[in-house]
Structure 1
Amino acid sequence: MDSKMYIDKYYMTEVDSFDDSIYCHHAMMREKIITDHKHDKGQFLYTEGGVVFLKTEQKSYFLPARHYIWIPAGIVHSIHPSSPQVIMRNLYFPRFETDPIFFDKVHIYPVNDFLIEFIMFTNRWNGNIFPTEEPKFSIAKTFKLILPEVSKTELPLALPYPKHEKLNEIVAYLEERIDDNVGFKNLANQFDLSERTLARLFQRELNMSFIQYYTILRMLTALKLLLDEKLSVNEVATRVGYSSLPTFSNTFNKIIGVRPSEYIKNKNLLF
């Protein structure tokens, strides 16, 4: 099945066939990419068995194990799993009058044990759930309603795309030399910019400082290395430019929410 057929069958035609239904779909990806598409319903996406990159027109999101992403209705996005064996658990919801602003933007949040139990409970459902199907519809609707209540620590597992030509070159330079611990002053010199101009470029174009962008870039790279390759925490720290293991561990914990040693230990459980 090619990716276009996959989109037509599961991600466009069936999901949006009925305005008031909640659509449920659990399946192994079997695809390397699901190309750009959008829905008339908001999407809850949780994955097992690997990592997913999700790209919108503005940002690239990194969805690791034991996290979910909320995608509002109308957001054009593509899905890039780490392997075709990734299992996607999707719930698509119509807008309810009581929806808070929480559902108006893309979010990535960790999933606690309670939410995992709820997600696994939905495994028995497939396809449209209509308002007349009680108590199933009320249970599914409750799933959406509890998300703002159990999602309190949003993770910055996303990086904006630079549209500025020079900044695009700078970001590519940083990605290619992720193990070099590139300094701000040296970066400015490399691209023949003053430090003040470079700082303004990051803030104006990406709405974050150089150090914020570079730290998130390094931590997302570290997360991918921990998940995809059999490397020690010390090796991963070196690969993303950290000579101090405690500094790397503390930074990882601040961004991701757990220490890298804990993440490795629990990795198999999370999948």
Structure 2
Amino acid sequence: MQDLEITAYLHAIELQPKSVYIVHEKTERLLPMHSHTKSQFTYVEGGIAYIYTENKTYFIPARHYVWIPKGLPHFVKVRTSATITRNLYFYTDDDHTEPFYGKLGIYPVNTLLYEMIGFTNNWNGDIEKKDNTYHFMAAIKNILPQLSTRSFPIALPTTTNSRLRPIVLYMAQYFGQQITLESISSRFGMGERTLSRLFQSTMNISFLQYLKLLRIVRAIEMILQEDRSTTDIAYLTGYNSLAAFSKAFFQLTNIRPSDFAKHNS
């Protein structure tokens, strides 16, 4: 996307501060790091999307949405063109009424919200107070704090640290192998305590916590995008047994991998 197109798109979102701006196209995913004076609701209808902020990568599976508060720098990325996202940009003059509106969160979409989102399919651009559809859009925003009480907890820290970034990239490529603190320390020529401290000080997470997060993210990708059994996915993501994989998955997501697969099939 050219700079002029980006400027025009962002200007269109901001033009009417008290409106709801609707986009069902794939424009948002083409933008570089940016922010809005409006709050953003992005629903992932099919596939997987990622929200990148300045220090974390948030994972959004299908039938989930992300709420991005006003002013938060971010960009959206998808792995395949088949991923469908729907973007609603909301007025913010009432954001102070609910703590929900002030923080980024990823939430599952229940049947009610799914039907409401689907009802907006034929609308695009600004929905203003004078429009008959405005109260419907306001109702979507108003019910979010009540419907969305538990955020999907998968977020991978990111880093530009010159010592740690090559290690993180290596782990992203070989997450299915038997990676240990000892093996990574040896490969990259640093002590185990040094590497452990580097993870903690740079990304505020332990080496083992990061590895577990990485593996569960990759497992979720496989569940949503590949026709594999839960047992296969367990071994492909570096676990020695289905039981160990299921336990780690549940600890991070509060749902068993088999149940997650059923709910997102």
Structure 2 length normalisation: TM-score?
A: 0.87
State yes or no: 1:117 paired with 2:137.
no
SS at match of 1:102: helix
Letter in 2 for 1:158: A
Q: 1:82 to 1:43 in 2, by over 3 A?
A: same
Distance (Å, rounded) in 1 between the aligned partners of 2:207 and 2:75: 27
Query: Per-residue CA shift, 1:187-245, capped at 9, x if unaligned?
Result: 33333433333222222211122222111110001111222222222221111101111
Could you say which residue in structure 2 is the equivalent of 1:54?
A: 51
Equivalenced residue count is 264
State yes or no: 1:65 paired with 2:54.
no
Q: Note the residue ranges of structure 1 that are not aligned, 5 or more in a row.
A: none
Distance (Å, rounded) in 2 between the aligned partners of 1:199 and 1:109: 32
Q: Note the residue ranges of structure 2 that are not aligned, 5 or more in a row.
A: none
Could you say which residue in structure 1 is the equivalent of 2:190?
A: 193
State yes or no: 1:253 paired with 2:250.
yes
Indicate which of 210, 227, 231 corresponds to 1:230: 227
Could you say which residue in structure 2 is the equivalent of 1:24?
A: 22
233-242 vs 96-105, which deviates more? Answer: 96-105
Query: Per-residue CA shift, 1:98-118, capped at 9, x if unaligned?
Result: 443332332112222222222
Distance (Å, rounded) in 2 between the aligned partners of 1:180 and 1:255: 20
Could you say which residue in structure 2 is the equivalent of 1:130?
A: 128
Distance (Å, rounded) in 1 between the aligned partners of 2:147 and 2:226: 31
Q: Percent identity?
A: 37
Distance (Å, rounded) in 2 between the aligned partners of 1:147 and 1:6: 31
Indicate which of 199, 218, 221 corresponds to 1:221: 218
Query: Per-residue CA shift, 1:115-171, capped at 9, x if unaligned?
Result: 22222233343221212335x333322322322222222222221211322111221
How far apart are residue 45 of structure 1 and its match? 0.2
Query: Per-residue CA shift, 1:38-68, capped at 9, x if unaligned?
Result: 3221100002221112222222222111211
SS at match of 1:15: helix
State yes or no: 1:240 paired with 2:237.
yes
Distance (Å, rounded) in 1 between the aligned partners of 2:6 and 2:118: 24
Letter in 1 for 2:229: S
RMSD, matched Cα: 2.5
- The answer as to whether partners of 2:196 and 2:206 remain within 8 angstroms in 1 is yes
State yes or no: 1:184 paired with 2:197.
no
Indicate which of 80, 91, 95 corresponds to 2:92: 95
Distance (Å, rounded) in 2 between the aligned partners of 1:100 and 1:60: 25
SS at match of 1:108: strand
Q: 1:221 to 1:258 in 2, by over 3 A?
A: same
How far apart are residue 93 of structure 1 and its match? 1.0
